[in-house]
Amino acid sequence: MISIANNEMFARRGQRFMCWTRRILMLTGVLALAYVALTLFNARLFQIAASHTLEHQIHAEEQHTASPSRPAMKEGDVLGKIEIPRLGLSVAVLQGTTSKTLLLGVGHIAGTALPGEAGNIGIAGHRDTYFRVLKDIRRNDEIRLQTSSGVARYEVDWIQITAPRDGDIVAPTSESALTLVTCYPFYYIGAAPERFVVHARRQ
């Protein structure tokens, strides 16, 4: 009888444990989904604000009220907007490539030409957010880069997969070029071992 009672007690404890485990896992899932939703919502709001900022910069440039000397840029400052019409991409280009910045948009790589300037402009983005569409990019696709000074059009001339520390891909060039960089493979779990690089020449 004692053995049966003990078995029933252990069974009840096991059921309670499984019940609480299910509740904890469900709560964890709900919180994770809420965090993702909040992050996406915040990024969307930022994109709207960045669009207004760029419009203001363009208006100031048209009215010749922009400062004659470029002020010092800070991480996260809005530099422009990049569009790839065929892929439906339209996203703000921000200064810098910190994790926080790349959650809100795509980032200008330090040491490369600035958007609107001659040279090789390097722009990085996350493979699981704004630059996920690069998996479908093709040669000859058009890329537009809008800044306060106007719209520059580029045409994709090559696509390459490289090692993470291959700095040559964003090395300075005499020609006007645009280099987009994201992690690869696109659906890799964890820190991706390679980089997906799209190079385009100005038209």
Distance, CA of 76 to CA of 74 (rounded, Å): 6
53-68 as b/e, with b when 16 or more CB fall inside 10 Å?
ebeebbeeeeeeebee
* End-to-end Cα, the chain, rounded Å: 88
* Torsion angle in degrees (nearest 10) through CA of 187, 192, 194, 195: 70
Catalytic residues: 126, 183
Instruction: Name residue 2's amino acid.
Output: I
User: Hunting for tokens 């203001």 — which residue is that?
Assistant: 56
At residue 32, the 3 state secondary structure works out as: helix
Cβ proximity of 114 and 171 under 8 Å: no
Query: What is d(CA 146, CA 200) in angstroms, rounded to the nearest whole number?
Result: 15
Residue whose pair of structure tokens reads 């996260």 in the numeric block:
76
Question: For the chain, how many residues are written?
Answer: 203
The SS3 of residue 95 is strand
